[in-house]
Structures are given as structure tokens and as C-alpha cells.
Amino acid sequence: MRVLLSAIVFTSFIAANAQNVQPPALVSAREALTARNPALAKTRYEEFAKAHPTDARAPQGMGDAELMMHQYEAAELDYRRAVMIDPNLWPAHKSLVLVEAKLGRWDDFESERKLLHDARVRGADNISAKESDLIDSFEVAGKPWLVREYFVPMGRSEARYNFEHFTPEGKASEYISLERADAAKTALERAPQVVIGKDDIPAAPGEFALNWYTGSGHGTIRHYKQEPSYRTLRADTMRWLRARAAHK
């Protein structure tokens, strides 16, 4: 998945630039990741690890390469090695969230998300409350989807999650968003021809709506009285996508 690979490379780039001076071996390994050659990148990170066994960037980079190659078990082990060396290596924790989702290890998935949440709450260094986290990816009916979580709700509709579909060229073509129901309706008041939801019942404060958006339409999949768990949200989204694909 091209967009997923780009996101992994970007995560690696952030980690690699956490320090001002980069050893040439790490620069070379990162270049291999950027060139989408994870096997070569892994070899270069392994070579660096032999000379620098206490540098967390080596196992973190190996994990990035393994994630690109869909070697999720190996990636999990290397990311955990990285955070054992440096517990505050946030990009490795973020990648662990994605890996645990791919492995279906939801307790570990939630543990890593809580760790990142708590770091943001206390204002830890090198992690921002304003950035989004890539937490999951999956395919439905041959279409790939990426999932982003926002610690600070995003935009006028106060989105907490976005499920994003990209074309093979990397262009976003549609997305599904968990939003504050009242904020989403208010955000579309300037477009009276667009209706979010199939009824005129006002959204109560604190309620959420799972809304879909494309270039040609909008709609509501489901309402929630309170913010649902991610697993509930994921299941509802995938169920709706499968039903939609079956009727095409």
C-alpha cells in the first residue's frame, strides 16, 4: 500500500531527525526506506546495530523496514527493543499501535495508545497534541483504508477519527469520519443542499456521528450517544463498507 509506506517513511524521518547529527550509516539506511527498498534498509540498520547496540534508532529502523515488508511479528519485537532502550521514542510507540492493529492484539493496541495519550496530557517532549496518529489500515472489497486518530479533535466538525481511502496515485478520494454530531451539522449549515443524517432530530451535546464524505455526496452511517471504542467504530465502518460494496 503506497500511502502506508509513505507514512512509515515519514515516521522514520521524524525519528531520524530527533537528533541534529545523523551518522552516515543511518542516513544511508533511511534513504533506502525512502526509496522503498526495505530489505536493503533492514540490512543497513542491522549493520549499524552491531556497532551501536544501545542506539534505539537501529531497532526502530529495522521495525520500519519489517513493517514495510508486512513482517508484523518481527516489527513488533524490534519496536519493543527500541522502546526498551529509549522509552520516550514516540515514533516507535506510534508504529507499535499500527503493528498491534495488524496483528489483532487489541489489548496491546490500547496500551500503546494510552501511553501516547498520557504523554500528550503531561506535555512530554517530542510529541505534539496537534499531530494525528496513523493507527490502523485495512482493505474492504479491494480498497485500502488508512485510519487516523486526532488527540485534539480536528476541524469545524471536531473529528476524532478519519478513515481515508486513497487512489493508487495517492489522492484522497473519500473518507469516513467520527465527529461530534452537533459540530458536523453546524459545519454544513453554509451548504443547505447537503444533509448529514436522514432525520431532523437535533444532535444532543456529547453525541457522535459516523459520517461519510466523497466528492459528490455526504451521509451518516450511525449515531452514538457517546464516543464509541475504536474496535466498535472499526467494526461498524467495515460492516457498512462491505454492505455498500455488495450492492454495487
| Residues 9 and 66 occupy one common structural domain | yes
User: What is the number of other CB atoms lying within 10 angstroms of the CB of residue 121?
Assistant: 10
| Residues 94 and 152 occupy one common structural domain | no
Domain boundary (70, 97, 121) is at: 121
Torsion angle, alpha carbons of 119, 120, 121, 125, to 10: 70
| Residues 85 and 148 occupy one common structural domain | no
| Residues 55 and 142 occupy one common structural domain | no
Distance (Å, whole) CA 61 – CA 16: 9
- CATH number of 49's domain: 1.25.40.10
Domains: count for the chain: 2
| Residues 99 and 157 occupy one common structural domain | no
- Model confidence over 32-82: pLDDT tens digits? 999 999 999 999 999 999 999 999 999 999 999 999 999 999 999 999 999
| Residues 177 and 232 occupy one common structural domain | yes
Domain boundary (121, 154, 182) is at: 121
| Residues 182 and 152 occupy one common structural domain | yes
Domain boundary (81, 96, 121) is at: 121
Residue 45 phi/psi, 5-degree rounding, is -65, -40
Q: What crossing angle do the helices spanning 90-103 and 106-121 adopt, rounded to 10°? A: 160
| Residues 17 and 60 occupy one common structural domain | yes
In a domain, 8, yes or no: yes
| pTM confidence score | 0.86
DSSP notation for 201-230: PPPPTT-EEEEEEESS-EEEEEEESSPPPH
| Residues 8 and 97 occupy one common structural domain | yes
| Residues 96 and 37 occupy one common structural domain | yes
| Residues 113 and 16 occupy one common structural domain | yes
Distance (Å, whole) CA 7 – CA 10: 5
In a domain, 112, yes or no: yes
pLDDT grade, residue 169 (50/70/90)? Answer: confident
In a domain, 77, yes or no: yes
In a domain, 126, yes or no: no
For the chain, the average pLDDT equals 87
In a domain, 87, yes or no: yes
pLDDT grade, residue 230 (50/70/90)? Answer: very high
Distance (Å, whole) CA 205 – CA 226: 9
Buried b / exposed e along 141-170 (16+ C-beta atoms within 10 A): eeebbbbbbbbeebeebbbbbbbbbbeeee
In a domain, 151, yes or no: yes
pLDDT above 70 for 193: no
Alpha-helical regions (H) of the chain: 2-16, 24-34, 38-51, 57-68, 72-85, 90-103, 106-121, 181-187, 230-246
User: Residue 12 is which amino acid?
Assistant: S
Range of the domain at 166: 132-246
| Residues 44 and 139 occupy one common structural domain | no
In a domain, 31, yes or no: yes
Mean pLDDT, range 3-31, rounded to an integer: 66
In a domain, 127, yes or no: no
CB 74 within 8 A of CB 81: no
pLDDT above 50 for 217: yes
pLDDT above 80 for 154: yes
